[in-house]
Amino acid sequence: MKQSMKNILLAMLCCIAFNHLAMANTFNVFPMRLELTEGAKIGTVTVVNNNDSPANMQVRAMKWTQGEHGRDTMENTDELTFFPKIFKVPAHGQKVVRVGYQGKPLPRELSFRLFIRELPVEEPGKMGMKMAVQISMPVFIRPVAAGKMPSPEVKGISIVDGKLVGWIQNPGLRYLMVRKLEVSGSKGGASTYRGTPNGWYVLAGVNKAFDLGLSRKECAGIDTLKINAVTSNGHWEKSFTLKPALCKKITGKGSKKEMDKSAAVHGGISASRS
């Protein structure tokens, strides 16, 4: 009984927090993704304040790579230049942030994340939780000879952290955006499963594991698994024979919490208590 009450209270607090976040999201940035060619002129990002009062903003940059299993990794960097770093945007006004790269010639595209954060301001006479709202946007610096957007390669399936994953490889010099995966399974020629896991970026030269979202029971009902990677540059599919021994290695239902949590944390709006 006590545990049930705790769960109810926790759910109520989550709803209040998300409603607060929705109301607190009073600024936007344009564009939501910045792409520059090495040696090109500086690009611009416009921060728009939708609030009735001025907004204090802070900008910081981090280098974005994808490590083991294609998981996102962020690290501090001074390779990306931007100005201003701290500024005030008037009510219903806007401010331009200039972004550039002055580094060495590139063998392949570099990727960064620009974090644009509204600094919370204490208002006299007002009580309550303050949320620091932040928008994360990707910045890509591509080589002059990078060429067109790459095509993905659906490389295979395996078990990672107890989940069935599909491996999508980006063999190109530029990023690849996997919009979604269309996963279908059959047994003896009859359809037994359909799912559409969310996609995410696959950076240049990376082989990324995508959680396919199958439970052990669902996997056991499939002998042929087809993965269709829908990207910004078309779609590519491949079929695999699914063996019972592989299904038995699944220890839990697939979840974006582990494999694709970066989409929520780094791919848009986030908030922290202040």
Last residue of a domain, one of 129, 146, 163: 146
Question: Is residue 120 one of the residues assigned to a domain?
Answer: yes
Domain for residue 85, yes or no? yes
Distance between CA 123 and CA 129 in Å, rounded? Answer: 12
Q: Which domain holds residue 228?
A: 153-257
- The CATH number assigned to the domain holding 181 equals 2.60.40.10
* Residue 107 and residue 62 in one domain: yes
- Please compute the mean of the pLDDT values over residues 174-192 and round it to a whole number: 96
Residue 56 inside a domain? The answer is yes
Same domain for 192 and 142: no
Token duo for residue 256: 């974006």
pLDDT at 21 over 50: no
- On whether both 192 and 166 belong to a single domain, the answer is yes
Residues 134 and 196 in one domain: no
Judge if 131 and 88 occupy the same domain. Answer: yes
Q: Is the pLDDT of residue 16 over 70?
A: no
Tokens matching residue 139: 């910045």
Average pLDDT over residues 87-92: 96
Q: Which of residues 146, 167, 184 is at a domain's end?
A: 146
The reply to whether 3 falls in a domain is: no
Q: Are residues 212 and 124 in the same domain?
A: no
Q: Tell me: the pLDDT tens digits for 73-82? A: 999 999 999 9
Total count of domains within the chain: 2
Do 79 and 125 lie in one domain? The reply is: yes
270 — pLDDT class (breaks 50, 70, 90): low
Is 2 a member of any domain?
no
8 falls within a domain:
no
Strands 34-37 and 131-142: parallel
Whether residue 127 sits in one domain with residue 161: no
- 134 occurs within a structural domain: yes
Q: How far apart are CA 165 and CA 258, in angstroms?
A: 12
Predicted model pTM: 0.81
Examine residue 216 and state whether it is found in any structural domain, yes or no.
Answer: yes
Question: Do residue 117 and residue 170 come from a single domain?
Answer: no
Residue 257 in this model has a pLDDT that exceeds 70: no
The pLDDT-based confidence of 146 (bands split at 50, 70, 90) is: confident
Residues 166 and 64 in one domain: no
**Are 159 and 142 members of one domain?**
no
Q: Are residues 104 and 157 in the same domain?
A: no
Q: Which residues are within 8 A (CB) of 19 and not within 5 positions of it... i.e. 6 or more apart?
A: none
